[in-house]
Amino acid sequence: MGQLRTICLVGHSGCGKTTLATALMKRAGIKEQILLDASQEEKDRGYSIDIGYGAFTKGDTTVTLLDTPGGDEFIEEMYKAVPVSDVSLLVVHAEKAVEVVTERAWDLTGAAKRPTLVLVNQMDRENASFEKAIASLRDHFEGKLLPIQLPIREGGAFVGVVDLIANQAVYFAEKGKKAIPDDLAGPVEDARSSLIEEASTMDDELMMKFLEEEPISTEEITTSLSIGVAQGELIPVLCASGAEEKGLDTLTQVLTGLVPGPALDAAAATRAIVFDLTNDPYLGRLAYARVLDGTVQEGKSLVVVGGGGKIEIRDMYTLEGTKQKREPKAPAGSIIAIGKAEDLKLGDTVATSIDGAAFDMPAFPQPVYSRTIVPKSQADVEKMSEALREVSTTKATIQVERDPVTKEQILRGMGDIHLSVFIERLKNRYNVSLETHTPQIPYKETIRKKAEAKYRHKKQSGGRGQFGEVVLRIEPFDGEGGYQFLDEIKGASIPGQYIPGVEKGVVEAMEEGNLAKYPVTNVSVAVFDGSYHPVDSSELAFKIAARSAFRDAFDKANPTLLEPVMNVQVRVPEEFTGDIISDLNGRRGRILGMDPAGKITVIRAEVPLSEMMSYALDLKSRTQGRAVFQMEYAKYQAVPGNIQEKVVAQARQNEE
């Protein structure tokens, strides 16, 4: 059985990952059309949105490429692909060096001590600078970044590289020429000495050889480097041009030779991790998985670890170029696509035993940008729910829910581009058209003091009438559930069979407060007196009386609006920290603390949701896209008086 390697390409949009992946496959002999950005949305926009899958064989090694998007709003795909790869190839633009998503990719790869290589790509560009790219990488990231190549340029053209491990030149057009240019002799000597010194830290015997200035072979350097890469301690840096297909042979040699492969045991109990879900226009729902242990076979069944159901492996595919091909079995290390996978979810570990060890995927970022969605026509209403379910279940950073307070259908994502792509996908694949609006804030109403009210409901219109009199006391309540109902009737002023009607009336009244028609919360309600009629009283009459009594008492109890407050965590480069703190204060935020993390500051704050509706876009604008944030619900708190006046006035205007 040949060797397997899974390589994840990560980096900022425009650094050339997809072009590079395409060139690697072409160089390896893939003849048919290579289409990594295959969705209609990717074709329309001209950039990657989903993981692109491809594979090629070099010698006895099959390399699977996972090409991730470089847009920061599509960061989820990187979270899926990096953990299931043998190595991450961090691609850097030779003219621009470290960019926004380069930093985020590093957090998941090199900073997390995962096996990582860096490729300075687009070395064919006029202003390409390998030296400046290395300096930028070292300035931004802590880690042992080791060039294992230096570029050779003649007349501004990228014509070859110096292989620092073998200590010889590799010219792209002149295969027999191996002499190192004279002007690079000094830089090569310095870079190679640094490379050997760092590589020797991975092996005591090699370190002794280095200290005693004994000869060190190419094989010894390669072996030691491979150990360092596997441990996440050493980060080799290469250079290439995907667009001109230069430097790809040496890159492939490193990917297949230097990068450590997975430990394979085909006889072990089968285990695989589902890391991606797609809806293929021809094959239906596909679950992409990495086989961790054993062998996955068609016709066999697996179970979801931790209590899930049985999964029948009916259709299974691997990759040849960018095409799926049917495969009856796949050993550990393989990337497979499981067909008819409606019961599988992102992050599921499937195994032969329900007690198998679950694979630990990193927590996905939570959506931070919301819009209300409304179907454009009745036909869209009928198709919307199923289409939303099918598409949203494939993405961890897309969430669809109905707000229990405003009753709006809310679509959450990572930003405006992210949501617009999702909405385009609904139109392209399911012919569902949606409009979007800014969501309403789910305010609530409460009271600040105790109050009582009495209400008599009496109606006579011939025949049996309606009668019920209720005396209520309401007061602030901070217990569980935000509501408490107490029956304090002494004697028989209200018979017991009517008390449920009283509570129903109270609950009904709490659905819409008197201030702005928002739900009422944090209230204790006690019925302590009343009266009834032996013939005309009914549960309905007491419900109507209680509803009106509650509303009267509510007006007397100093009612106020409550607004949702979010726990916010902003990761910001230190040079923007002061500006971001000032901005959060201007959003009525309360700074809870700041934690330095290298050149990043993590700011923790509580901020009202109403002030955060456009924060995903504003933060990007203020920090050139370099800061990121997460937020989650914290609590409800009273709205300041001046803002309450505006909210109440707007609500009354809308009612008119």
Please state whether 437 falls in left (phi above 0), alpha (psi between -120 and 50) or beta.
beta
| CATH number for the domain whose boundaries are 369-437 | 3.30.70.870
Average pLDDT, the chain: 93
The CATH-assigned architecture of domain 271-351 is: Beta Barrel (2.40)
Cα separation of 269 and 115, whole Å? 26
Cα separation of 472 and 133, whole Å? 73
pLDDT digits 0-9 by tens, 315-329: 999 998 999 999 999
- The pTM for the full model equals 0.90
Residue 495: both structure tokens together? 């018979």
Confidence (pLDDT) at 220: 93
Confidence (pLDDT) at 582: 97
- The answer to whether 641 and 508 have CB atoms below 8 angstroms apart is no
Each domain of the chain, given as residue ranges in start order, spans 3-258, 271-351, 369-437, 445-557, 563-652
Report the percentage of the chain scoring pLDDT > 70: 99
What fold is seen in the domain 563-652? Alpha-Beta Plaits (3.30.70)
Cα separation of 356 and 65, whole Å? 28
Give residue 262's pLDDT band: very low, low, confident or very high (50, 70, 90): confident
What fold is seen in the domain 3-258? Rossmann fold (3.40.50)
Adjacency order of strands within the sheet including 483-487: 451-459, 466-476, 523-531, 483-487
Cα separation of 502 and 499, whole Å? 5
Confidence (pLDDT) at 309: 85
| CATH number for the domain whose boundaries are 445-557 | 3.30.230.10
151 pLDDT higher than 70: yes
pLDDT digits 0-9 by tens, 88-110: 999 999 999 999 999 999 999 98
pLDDT digits 0-9 by tens, 563-611: 999 999 999 999 999 999 999 999 999 999 999 887 889 999 999 999 9
Please state whether 128 falls in left (phi above 0), alpha (psi between -120 and 50) or beta.
beta
Give residue 462's pLDDT band: very low, low, confident or very high (50, 70, 90): low
Q: Which amino acid is at 211?
A: L
- Do 369-437 and 563-652 show the same overall fold? yes
Please give the torsion angle defined by the CA atoms of residues 135, 137, 138 and 144, in that order, rounded to the nearest 10 degrees.
-130
SS3 614: coil
pLDDT digits 0-9 by tens, 386-426: 899 988 999 999 999 999 999 999 999 999 999 999 999 99
